[in-house]
Structure 1
Amino acid sequence: MEMPMRTALVLLSAAFAPAPALAANQVALDNSVFVERVTTDASGRQRILLEEPKAVVPGDRLVFVLNYRNAGARAADRFVITNPMPSAVRFVGAGDTRPIVSVDGGRSWGALDTLTVPLTDGSRRPAQPADVTHIRWAFQKPIPAGGAGKLMFRGVVK
Structure 2
Amino acid sequence: MRTACLLPLALLAPGHAFAADAVALDNSVFVERVTTDASGKQRVLLEEPRAVTSGDRLVFVLAYRNAGNQPADRLVITNPLPAAVRFTGAGDHAPLVSVDGGHAWGPLAELTIRQPDGSRRPAQPSDVTHVRWAFQRPVPAGASGKLLFRGVVR
TM-score, length-normalised on structure 2?
Answer: 0.93
- In the alignment, is residue 96 of structure 1 matched against residue 92 of structure 2? yes
Q: For residue 75 of structure 1, give the secondary structure of its aligned residue in structure 2.
A: coil
- In the alignment, is residue 133 of structure 1 matched against residue 107 of structure 2? no
- In the alignment, is residue 11 of structure 1 matched against residue 7 of structure 2? no
Write the letter of the residue equivalent to 2:39.
S
1:112-137: CA deviation from partner (whole Å, max 9, x where unpaired) = 00000111221111111111011000
Q: For residue 22 of structure 1, give the secondary structure of its aligned residue in structure 2.
A: coil
Q: For residue 50 of structure 1, give the secondary structure of its aligned residue in structure 2.
A: strand
Q: Which runs of 5+ in 1 are unaligned?
A: none
Give the C-alpha shift of residue 145 in structure 1: 0.4
Counterpart CA distance in 2 for 1:17 and 1:72 is 20
Q: For residue 140 of structure 2, give the secondary structure of its aligned residue in structure 1.
A: coil
Structure 1 vs Structure 2 CA RMSD? 1.1
Counterpart CA distance in 1 for 2:17 and 2:91 is 22
Write the letter of the residue equivalent to 2:71.
A
Match of 1:70 among 53, 56, 66: 66
Partner residue, 1:60: 56
Counterpart CA distance in 2 for 1:12 and 1:83 is 13
> How many aligned positions are there?
150
Counterpart CA distance in 1 for 2:62 and 2:87 is 15
Q: For residue 44 of structure 1, give the secondary structure of its aligned residue in structure 2.
A: coil
TM-score, length-normalised on structure 1?
Answer: 0.91
The structure richer in helix per residue is 1
Partner residue, 1:118: 114
Give the C-alpha shift of residue 42 in structure 1: 1.2
Seq. identity, %: 68
Partner residue, 2:20: 22
Write the letter of the residue equivalent to 1:41.
D
Q: For residue 11 of structure 2, give the secondary structure of its aligned residue in structure 1.
A: helix
